[in-house]
Structure 1
Amino acid sequence: MLAAQRKDRILDLLRADGRVVAKELAAAWDLSEDTVRRDLRELAADGLLHRVHGGALPASPAVADFTARTAIATDAKSEVAQLAASLVRPGQTVAIDGGTTARELARRLPPDLRATVVTHSPTVAVELATHPTVEVIIVGGRLFKHSVVAAGAAAHEAIGRVSVDAFFLGVTGIHPTAGLTTGDADEAAVKRAWVGRAAETYVLGSGEKIGAASPFEVVPLADVTAVLTDAAAPERGVAELRAAGVDVRRP
């Protein structure tokens, strides 16, 4: 089997099974594990999978930059955002993460809602600038341009002085064993800080993120209240999360 054929087959298996194990592939194809690992490294370098110990998991399409992500799964994100908006109660103080689904959530908060939103996302803040009864508090810091959010020491210090009723968390990967992941270590740290300051944490998890993984863990699945996803999210992925004890909610 040629290298290109092996790589196509690896990607097919990832789509079908949700993971591949290098040792099993080597045995099935009568190849050395080093050959399979080289294929996995090259596919990972192209952004087509995420390597883990012993094999690989599907890579998340949500690791693209903010502008590119605006065109990914727009209907699904709208469903997730509407579900998230229904969880915000009058009088609450909530934190909203950065990202395209988070921005959609800000757009969908009811016009008569009286609440406080704290965010480290300039795009979320701008969406709420014209909301008549939502108070907006912006957390500042170094701008992480990839996701258009504040990061770094200043953001951490500010977050550490706020307590919120709920945090709406954006991630790029939601996997039953890899947990909740994202593509940047500093951004993961800011998200983790918010989880630590929230009474409840809801994951904004449109279907393309379920079963996928990225390099940096945010928190384990056990640390969040629920994963909010869309009606068309993959049944297998949803079932695996529920089997792992995760509260998965759909419209």
Structure 2
Amino acid sequence: MLTSQRKDLILDMLRREGQVVAKRAAEEFSLSEDTIRRDLREMAADGLLRRVHGGAMPISPDLPDLSARRVISSEVKRKLGAAAAGMVKPGQLIFLDGGTSTAEIARALPRSFAFTVATHSPTIAAELEHHPTAEVILIGGRLYKHSMVAVGAMPISQISLIRPDIFFLGATAIHPSRGLSTGDLEEAAVKRHIASRTAETFVLVTDEKLDASSPCTIMPISDLAGMIVQSGLGEERLAPYRALELEIIEA
């Protein structure tokens, strides 16, 4: 088997299962573990995966701070934000996560009817300062400055008092088998609690977040109502998510 063929098989396993265990891959492909481990080292050096003890994991997206993320994929995020904002109905209570994609939702929210926005992000609340019809509930707590969101016991206790209709969740990585994840354990816990209180949770997905994994699990994909995804990702990449019977909105 050619080296390129072996590496294609390894990448296929990584996409399918969310991890590669060297021993299992060697058995499945009828190769030696040494060969698989050598391929994994080369693929890690090429930035195709992340080496871990005994195998490999998907590349975790980089975690630039909020100001750096504002300039990444801005046009794509505007389209995702507009699609999400178009889902809001009069009188609803929606919850906006922190982040640059959800900031685009805040900017695109309709101005022709009234609704309420809850958020644990002061930057998201500030986006709505001059919105004429949005009532804003700001959840407080210890500020996680990287994402500009409140974390810890205080926001969780406040979130327990509300029942949003829709939660627009931000995640750094989305994978069909490993679920939604982010880079901070406390931030993940707050996101998970918001989703547990909400009727429907949707996540906004850009190309670099799809089929990736970050260190801290938020929740499984099956807990989502749907995904709002960047257009042009291709049916092959979306097929595993459609198989989970998610609503997928391309924007």
> TM-score under structure 2 normalisation?
0.83
The yes-or-no answer on 1:165 pairing with 2:153 is no
Identity of aligned residues (%): 43
Counting matched residue pairs gives: 242
Aligned to 2:180: 180
Letter in 2 for 1:244: L
Aligned to 2:74: 74
Letter in 1 for 2:160: G
Distance in structure 2 (CA, Å) of the matches to 1:11 and 1:182: 27
Within 5 A, what are the aligned runs for 1:236-251? Answer: 236-251=236-251
Aligned to 1:190: 190
Q: Report the Cα offset of residue 204 of structure 1.
A: 1.4
Aligned to 2:119: 119
Letter in 2 for 1:113: F
Aligned to 1:131: 131
Distance in structure 2 (CA, Å) of the matches to 1:88 and 1:173: 25
Q: Report the Cα offset of residue 132 of structure 1.
A: 0.9
Aligned to 1:220: 220
Distance in structure 2 (CA, Å) of the matches to 1:67 and 1:192: 24
Instruction: For residue 150 of structure 1, give the secondary structure of its aligned residue in structure 2.
Output: strand
Aligned to 2:94: 94
Give the direction of change, closer, same or farther, for the CA distance of 1:117–1:62 in structure 2 (3 Å limit): farther
Q: Report the Cα offset of residue 245 of structure 1.
A: 2.7
- Please point out which of 32, 35, 46 is paired with 2:34: 32
Instruction: For residue 90 of structure 1, give the secondary structure of its aligned residue in structure 2.
Output: coil
- Confirm or deny: 8 A CA contact 1:22 1:37 kept in the other structure: no
- Confirm or deny: 8 A CA contact 1:59 1:213 kept in the other structure: yes
Q: Report the Cα offset of residue 16 of structure 1.
A: 10
Distance in structure 1 (CA, Å) of the matches to 2:66 and 2:30: 40
Letter in 2 for 1:175: H
1:77-127 residue CA offsets vs partner (Å, 9 max, x unmatched): 112111100111111111000111011110011222311000001111000
> Where does structure 1 lack aligned partners over 5 or more consecutive residues?
1-5
1:157-191 residue CA offsets vs partner (Å, 9 max, x unmatched): 11111111111111111111111111111000000
Within 5 A, what are the aligned runs for 1:101-116? Answer: 101-116=101-116
- Confirm or deny: 8 A CA contact 1:151 1:186 kept in the other structure: yes
> TM-score under structure 1 normalisation?
0.83
Structure 1, 128-137 or 67-76: larger mean CA deviation = 67-76
Give the direction of change, closer, same or farther, for the CA distance of 1:72–1:215 in structure 2 (3 Å limit): same
Letter in 2 for 1:220: P
Distance in structure 2 (CA, Å) of the matches to 1:11 and 1:65: 33
Distance in structure 1 (CA, Å) of the matches to 2:142 and 2:30: 49
Within 5 A, what are the aligned runs for 1:6-21? Answer: 14=11, 18=15, 20-21=20-21
- Confirm or deny: 8 A CA contact 1:144 1:150 kept in the other structure: yes
Distance in structure 2 (CA, Å) of the matches to 1:66 and 1:209: 16
Letter in 2 for 1:145: K
Letter in 2 for 1:195: A
Give the direction of change, closer, same or farther, for the CA distance of 1:139–1:62 in structure 2 (3 Å limit): farther
1:143-169 residue CA offsets vs partner (Å, 9 max, x unmatched): 101111110111111111111111111
1:24-46 residue CA offsets vs partner (Å, 9 max, x unmatched): 36978855389559949x959xx
Distance in structure 2 (CA, Å) of the matches to 1:151 and 1:48: 32
Q: Report the Cα offset of residue 209 of structure 1.
A: 1.1
